[in-house]
Amino acid sequence: MSPPRTPYPWWRSAVVYQVYPRSFADGNGDGIGDIAGLRKRLPYLADLGIDAVWINPWYPSPMKDAGYDVADYRDIEPLFGTLAEAEALLQEAHALGLRVLLDIVPNHCSDQHVWFQQALKAAPGSPERDRFIFRPGKGAHGEIPPNDWISEFGGPAWSRTTGPDGQPGDWYLRIFAPEQPDFNWDNPEVLAEFEKTLRFWFDRGVDGFRIDVAHGLVKASGLPDVGPRTLPAHADANHPHWDLPGVHAIYRAWRKVADSYDDPRIFVAEAWVHPGDRLARYVRSDELHTAFNFDYLVAPWRAEQLRASINGTLAAHAEVGAPPTWVLSNHDVAREVSRYARPQTTAPLRWLDDLLGQPADFALGLQRARAAALLMLALPGGAYIYQGEELGLPEVEDLPDAVLQDPMFEQTGRTSRGRDGCRVPIPWEGAQPHFGFSPPTSAPPWLPQPANWAALSVSAQSRVEGSTLDLYRKALQLRRSDIGLGGYGLQWLPSPEGALVFTRGSGFVCMVNVSAEPLALPAGAKLLLNSGTLDAQGRVPADTAVWLHTS
Ligand code: NOJ
């Protein structure tokens, strides 16, 4: 069976499951997830009812940033397997009706990439160096970085080279880790090289790409200082290295590559930009197909903020005719069960660091996360599910310092706990770690799993009425059926403060009680699915969502 051909493009309403390969399933017993493990678990994904998988970077990498430091864009990291295994996976996924998206990392590569190694050996001003952003330092001896830009992982965004004579030389820009030099997208060789990479994978049947740091590729000419700014970077229209207009020409070129295939390939942008109309520019009809809506991800569990985010997103996307893309979590943010377990003030909650020290009610967090899943899956457009979300996994907040691997931890002088807490290998079955993540006698998982995850495993929740996995399966099944979830709009229905109630298509109604008094179901409504128990009067209590059919 090949992926279904629908009359409208599949990606406009697809549910995509994010596979973080090192934490999904370990096939060879080294404690690190791999392609062999993923291939074994493909039937699970098909059964879940998703349309596609997105696989985080699986290319050869020194793993200084969990694979986002790519040494070779057209091969497979040996820890994960081989190119032949990747090709087999593509075929098997397609045979199960699943599309496959990869992750392309165009802002930077690994310092071990052949181009960067050549650049280090070449002289200042050489064509090899022009593929990256090298500059002399300031100060009497060039000892001060060329400008004031700050790395996303902490500290200056520049690293200094050492010449063959052992003397310090020019600096190179790296917005993330020192081992992740930024490409110079003003150099046409860079575009040509990435187009070659896109075609390499498209020719092997890959259905699309998630674009890492899609808003970061172009830097302001002259690399001016950021200086004192009042707006956060993602909301600053004049920032010197985020969301510059030049990025759009790159995506118009990429779109042509994608559209040159018979069954056109698609892109989803990781672009932390704000507000919605700036995000919408990435999904104009000749650019990218979709872009993650992170405003929604960081919105606290408060009805007015959720409603505002939904309305803003729908309006901005409607302007350009693109579908919105909803997401509750990914490998970079604290899991939503733990975010929603905290007091929901108006401040966005994103990192584990935003949560630590705040009182937590994890049962409440899970209840809200389940309601949030039904809300997200009822909205028009596409949605992404991060592995383990369908199991209701919480963030692992107490990983010992010694096991932390995210470069954020060391680069911030250990002031940030980083993102490892949402990357812990997922539990499949059994009473104790490794919970079926690896074959029976294997090395321990690369990050330790909490001993109390047995009840959250796939096998513990499979076919168990009311489990979170059961809720996701049913929601995805209903979403694929003819329950009136068609069309790209929604219509709000009158509801009390603290509630979100809308209808879509013909007769479908989603009611979400965020914090209101219990909500009565409309007369004659048929209950399709509920995220939690209704009260004795059959009403929807706070932190609960229902899907209904009304005639
Ligand atoms: C965003 C990725 O999702 C994150 O994991 C990575 O550290 C940065 N981009 C840098 O590539």
- Separation between Cα atoms, residue 499 and residue 446, nearest integer Å: 42
pLDDT digits (tens, 9 = 90+) for 371-402: 999 999 999 999 999 999 999 999 999 999 99
Tens of pLDDT, residue by residue over 300-357, are 999 999 999 999 999 999 999 999 999 999 999 999 999 999 999 978 789 999 999 9
Residue 358 has pLDDT above 80, yes or no: yes
Q: Whose CA is nearest to atom 11 of ligand 1?
A: 68
Q: Does the structure show a pLDDT above 80 at 2? A: no
Q: What distance in angstroms lies between residue 262's CA and the mean position of ligand 1's atoms? A: 31
Residue 436 in this model has a pLDDT that exceeds 90: yes
Kindly give the number of the ligand 1 atom that is closest to the alpha carbon of 107: 11
| Matching residue, tokens 């990479």 | 197
pLDDT at 1: 45
pLDDT at 346: 79
* 455 pLDDT more than 80: yes
41: pLDDT strictly greater than 60:
yes
Least Cα distance to 55 among 72, 76, 78 occurs for: 76
Q: Among 4-13, 255-264, 336-345, which stretch is predicted with the lowest mean pLDDT?
A: 4-13
**Of 191, 252, 256, nearest to 217 (Cα)?**
191
- Give the pLDDT score at 20: 98
Q: Is the pLDDT higher at 324 or at 7?
A: 324
- Residue 488 predicted with pLDDT over 80: no
Q: Give the model's confidence band at 7: pLDDT under 50 very low, under 70 low, under 90 confident, else very high.
A: low
CA-419 nearest atom, ligand 1: 5
CA of 482 to the centre of ligand 1 (A): 37
SS3 186: coil
Mean pLDDT calculated for residue range 218-246 = 93
User: What per-residue confidence (pLDDT) applies to 79?
Assistant: 98
Q: List the catalytic residues.
A: 212, 270
In the chain, the largest separation of any two C-alpha atoms, in whole Å, equals 82
CA distance 59 to 148: 32
pLDDT at 348: 78
Which token pair is 310? 């939904």
User: Is the model's pLDDT at 272 over the cut of 70?
Assistant: yes
Mean pLDDT of 423-445: 97
> Residue type for 69, please?
D
Give the residue from 468, 224, 223, 258 showing the smallest Cα distance to 268.
258
- Work out the number of other CB atoms within 10 angstroms of the CB of residue 443: 13
Calpha distance 54→265 (Å, rounded): 13
Between β-strands 208-211 and 15-19, what pairing exists: parallel, antiparallel or unpaired?
unpaired
3 has a pLDDT exceeding 70: no
Q: Which atom belonging to ligand 1 lies closest to the Cα atom of 105?
A: 11
Atom 5 in ligand 1: residue holding the nearest Cα = 332
Q: Coil, strand, or helix at residue 50?
A: coil
Q: Are 364 and 341 within 8 A, CB to CB? A: yes
What would the DSSP string read from start to end of 56-107? ---S----TTTT-S-S-TTS--TTT--HHHHHHHHHHHHHTT-EEEEEE--S
* Alpha-carbon span 20 to 35, nearest angstrom: 11
State both tokens at 339.
């975010």
User: Average pLDDT, whole number, for the chain?
Assistant: 96
Q: What is the pLDDT of residues 133-173, one digit of tens each?
A: 999 999 999 999 999 999 999 999 999 999 888 999 999 99
Measured in Å, residue 68 CA sits from the centre of ligand 1 at 6
State the Cα–Cα distance between residues 196 and 3, nearest whole angstrom.
25
Contact residues of ligand 1, CB 6 A cut-off: 65, 68, 105, 176, 212-213, 270, 331-332
Best residue among 102, 151, 153, 213 to mutate for probing ligand 1, ranked by most atoms within 8 Å of CB: 213
**Cα–ligand 1 centroid distance for 329 (angstroms):** 14
Taking alpha carbons only, the member of 475, 543, 483 closest to residue 509 is: 483
SS3 318: helix
Contact between 161 and 181 (Cβ < 8 Å): no
The pLDDT of residue 164 = 86
Please give the pLDDT value at position 5.
Answer: 47
Half-sphere exposure of 495 (CA within 13 A, CB side): 28
The secondary element (H helix, E strand) that includes residue 45 is helix 35-48
